[in-house]
Amino acid sequence: MTSIVKRFAIQTEHDTQLIDITERVRELIAQTGIQNGSATVMTMHTTTAITVNEGLPDLEDDLLELLADLAPAGRPYRHARFLHSDGQMAVNAPSHLRGALLGMQVILPVENGRPVLGSRQTIYFVELDGPLHREAVVHVMG
Amino acid sequence: MIDFHTHPVQIADLYEWDPTMEHAVRDVFGLYVKPQPMATYLGHLDEAGIDRSVILPVDCTSAHGCTVVSNQQIAALMERSDRLIGFASVDPGLPDAAARLEHDVREYGLSGLKLDPALQRFTIDDEQRAFPVYAAAAALGIPVLMHCGLSWARIGRSSLAHPLALEPVIEAFPSLRIVIAHLGWPWVPEAVMLAIKHRTVYLDTSVLFSGTPTESLRHVIDTVIGRELFDRSIPEQVVFGSNYPRVDPKRAMWAVRDLGLRPRLTQRIFNDNATALLAPGQGA
């Protein structure tokens, strides 16, 4: 079995943002040369997420609004203090919690060198505390 | 909108230009996160609705043997974006500090002076070392942004940054405009007292101690000071500052927005007061 990890960078532009990475994932899987197996798409951060949904702007807005409702700003979160290990204020609890709700990865079957996706399925990198320079990986095994 | 208080210490270009930057930022400034591209810095401004930002160096040569971004590097960053307003920093511990300030402000087109007594380890009211620097700033007609209060740098000595030490400076240099950073926390009443008394004393809003910026600022404004005082006594002496990268500009902006101040006062804090401060002053 072959195992290949491909890393890629994303410069996000907003506080919260859904970024379509479907084509990028397809290209990276193709670059590995692995024809059949599985691919894991994973974010390297705890205030971002990876998810799959229908690629429609209205659904994107609905999803972000739902996340904001579920983990709203302004609650007395414990994670709201100076973080000595970073030298910065750690005041982004809602971003972490929204990320936890969506999850850090998705797993896709790989068939004939391409990810198996339904016709309405879009892979999203979800920024929840931007703008920042972010990293994600595609891990292909087969 | 103008952010009057940002440290460009997370911009990756600086680390490519200067191999000593990592030591200065980690061991002196006390920031331990990865550098980010210039695009992230500018993206932060965009996300917060900030048009222009002040970028601050700190010259710690005599105290720690380095600069936490030099005046020349500030000028190089200004070349990358016309949204950046560069300040100078000089080390009062060096005998040529005043002359260097005069040179660098003119050479690099810098708009103010940043001093951090906690990190630079000087005494604010030291007539022999610090007063010549204030005199040079007054002669140049530039404002001084003075770190006051809590220093988050591990080796920063907050005891050197008490705002009351500014009293003899204000008295000796009546035309010098001084911005007390971080509302001087935890010495907020003392900082506000100076601003109430002296029209040349300003405050920036970058108060960060615990909780979110919204919680910290609301506590200080509503519990310690009283918001009426802002509107009545010092509406033209408060400027918005984020203290990036200690906190994101967007959250610092939300903190001021969430106070729900009168629109005219909010406009002054976000823009008008800083614009007036940064207008070329009249040298002494």
pLDDT tens per residue, range A46-101: 999 999 999 999 999 999 999 999 999 989 999 999 999 999 999 999 999 999 99
Q: For chain A, what is the domain count?
A: 1
Residue B83 sits at the chain A interface (C-beta within 8 Å):
no
Residue A123 burial (CB count, 10 A): 23
- Tell me what the mean pLDDT of segment B160-165 comes to: 98
Q: Which residue has the tokens 């972010």?
A: A134
Question: Quick check: bond before B235 cis, omega within 30?
Answer: no
Residues B46-81: pLDDT tens digits?
999 999 999 999 999 999 999 999 999 999 999 999
| Cross-chain Cβ contact A87/B29 below 8 Å | yes
Does residue A67 sit in helix, strand or coil?
Answer: helix
Q: Which tens digit of pLDDT belongs to each residue from B109-157?
A: 999 999 999 999 999 999 999 999 999 999 999 999 999 999 999 999 9
Mutate to test the interface with B, among A88, A95, A128 (most CBs of B within 10 A): A88
Residue with tokens 């479907």: A22
Q: Which domain holds residue A72?
A: 3-141
Query: CB-based contact (8 Å) between B22 and chain A?
Result: no
**Measured CA distances, B276 to A109, B42, B114, B142, B243 (Å):** 61, 23, 18, 11, 20
Q: How far apart are CA B124 and CA B259, in angstroms?
A: 32
Q: List, as ranges, residues 247-266 from B with C-beta within 8 Å of A.
A: 247-248, 250-251, 254
Contact map slice: B 188-227 vs A, CB within 8 A = 208-215
> How many percent of chain B have pLDDT more than 90?
97
Question: Using a CB-CB distance cutoff of 8 angstroms, which residues of chain A are in contact with residue B153?
Answer: 87
Contact B47 A74 (CB under 8 A): no
Residue B184 is predicted with a pLDDT of 98
pLDDT in tens, B211-233: 999 999 999 999 999 989 989 99
A22 pLDDT exceeds 50?
A: yes
In whole angstroms, what is the distance from residue B230 CA to residue B275 CA?
18
Q: Determine the pLDDT at residue B284.
A: 47
Chain A closest-CA separation from residue B147 CA (Å)? 17
Which residues from chain B sit within 8 angstroms of residue A71, using beta carbons?
none
Q: What is the pLDDT of residues A89-127, one digit of tens each?
A: 999 999 999 999 999 999 999 999 999 999 999 999 999
Q: Is B246 on the interface with A (CB under 8 A)?
A: yes
Residue found by looking up tokens 């260097």 in the block: B100
* Residues in CB range of A67: below 8 A, 6 or more apart: A16, A98, A101, A102, A128
The minimum CA-CA distance between B33 and chain A, rounded to whole Å, is 6
ipTM topping 0.95: no
Q: How confident is the model at residue B282 (pLDDT cuts 50, 70, 90)?
A: low
Structural domain spans, chain B: 2-278
**Closest-approach residue (CA) in chain A for B245:** A88
In this complex, is the C-beta atom of B244 within 8 Å of any C-beta atom belonging to chain A? no
Cα separation, A83 vs A73, whole angstroms: 19
Average pLDDT over chain B, rounded to an integer: 96
Domain boundaries B2-278, corresponding CATH code: 3.20.20.140
pLDDT at B283: 53
pLDDT at res. B280:
76
Q: B37 in contact with A at a CB cutoff of 8 Å?
A: yes
Q: Are A140 and A39 in contact (CB under 8 A)?
A: yes
CB distance B29 to B116 below 8 Å = no
CATH of the domain at A117: 2.60.120.460
Chain A CB within 8 Å of residue B15 CB: no
